[in-house]
Amino acid sequence: METEKLIQAINLAMDGDDEAVKSIVLPIIRVENELDVFEAPFLRYPSGSGSRVSSLSLAHWLVDRAREVGSENAVGEMRKFLTAQDVPMLQITPLAGIKLSSPVTLDEEMALVPFDQIPQSSSRTFFLSKYVKQMPYREPSAALVRFSFVPKAHYFQQGATPPPIARDLDTPERMQRTSLLLALILRSPVENVASWSQTASWIPLTNAGAHLLGTAQARLIVEKTLTARAGGYLRILYSAYWGMKKDDRTSLAISLDRLNRAMSSWNFVDSAIDLGICLESFFMADRESSNQEISFTLKVRAARLLATSFTRRTEIAALVQDLYKLRSEAVHKGRFATSTAKKMLPETRLREGQKLIARALRNTIRNGRLPDWQGVIFRS
């Protein structure tokens, strides 16, 4: 590669406009066989996203990057990319419902950061653009960020079949469940707003746009601050959850998701249904029971697991019985009976139930395994 000639061309084009880039830098790039990779129609990543590349996009990147780090460094970064087998990648999931003043490191790859600390990229710009702001999504103030290295995979001919590449299914799952752990700690709903992948600033590629996830319909999202102490607890819970057996994590994920939905619903009937599913998926995970015995089993297991005194166990059993009654009326009638609403305040009982199941889930995750229900019932 005629490196010096390319650097001189970049220096000349830095003070010009788009036409200068096309007329001065682009011709040099097009005669370099080593840069044919930038004639690929697409470069893909295991995340499912990718970047469109071309000689023209490379020419623009070189000139823009040279304005930041100098022409020699820009060309050096391009050469580094050409020889690299893997590409450093940030995978971003903005969150609504949580605010924090400093980052929380969860492990070597994952961190929770204030949204304004996410590095600039075309994906971030797209997400914050006027077009996206017209979409029904919630303003994020924090984000989960996962750092990884992913293999480059590109193909050269328009219409050619892309090379096989293992799709990364772990990151979306990890992002979603980590946000549910956050909701568990905050005792308040957290919503994943969007997701995107972005490369490091020295990678000569254009990042793909953001994929919006959240919906602003019928969801009560109130922003709560994650304190430093709660951030430390999040690290403990995160490590414990991902250290559990996969089947146990999967079982708990249903309860975590339904609890988050129950906390975020404006409609108490919907909240009762979601909380009922949460209770059953947690306290009845090991068995299939008839409808007649579900209520009894739920209240006995909850009382035995979460209390030791007779008085407190009686209170928990009564709460769970009320919750199951609300759930049944919500499912079968779509409303609460007048007599039920007079006997108990559905909103109050639902909030109490959310706190109860949240405590059960937190304790279970910290223990690193699902409850031994035989032991819970029969041990003193």
Q: What is the pLDDT of residue 82?
A: 83
What is this structure's pTM?
0.81
Q: What is the pLDDT of residue 216?
A: 47
Q: 209-215 long-range CB contacts below 8 Å, 24 or more apart?
A: 209/122, 209/123, 209/126, 209/127, 210/123, 210/124, 210/126, 210/127, 210/132, 212/132, 212/135, 212/137, 213/93, 214/96, 214/136, 214/137, 214/138, 215/136, 215/137
- Taking the domain 245-378, which CATH number applies? 1.20.120
* pLDDT at res. 1: 66
The per-residue pLDDT for 366 is 94
- Going along 194-299, which residue ranges are E strands? 194-199, 211-212, 224-225
Q: What is the pLDDT along the chain (380 residues), one digit of tens a residue?
A: 688 888 889 898 888 888 888 888 888 888 777 777 676 655 555 555 566 667 888 888 889 889 999 999 999 998 888 888 887 888 899 998 899 978 999 999 999 999 999 988 877 887 887 556 666 566 788 999 998 887 776 555 555 565 555 566 788 899 999 999 999 999 999 988 888 888 778 888 765 555 666 554 546 678 899 999 999 999 999 999 999 999 999 989 999 999 999 998 888 888 999 999 999 889 987 765 555 578 888 999 999 999 999 999 999 999 999 998 888 888 877 788 877 777 888 888 999 999 999 999 999 999 999 999 999 988 87
Cβ contact 152:180 at 8 Å: no
What local confidence, expressed as pLDDT, does residue 148 receive? 83
Burial classification of residue 263, based on how many CB atoms lie within 10 Å of its CB (0-12 exposed, 13-18 middle, 19 or more buried): buried
Q: What is the pLDDT of residue 143?
A: 95
State the Cα–Cα distance between residues 113 and 128, nearest whole angstrom: 17
- Tell me if residue 92 falls in helix, strand or coil: strand
How far apart are alpha carbons 367 and 36 in whole angstroms?
55
The predicted structure's pLDDT at residue 370:
94
Return d(Cα 256, Cα 162) in angstroms, integer. 37
**Sequence ranges of the domains in the chain:** 3-212, 245-378
Give the tokens for residue 128: 């914050």
pLDDT at position 375 = 92
Quote the tokens at residue 39: 């004639």
pLDDT of residue 213: 62
Give me the pLDDT at residue 210, please: 59
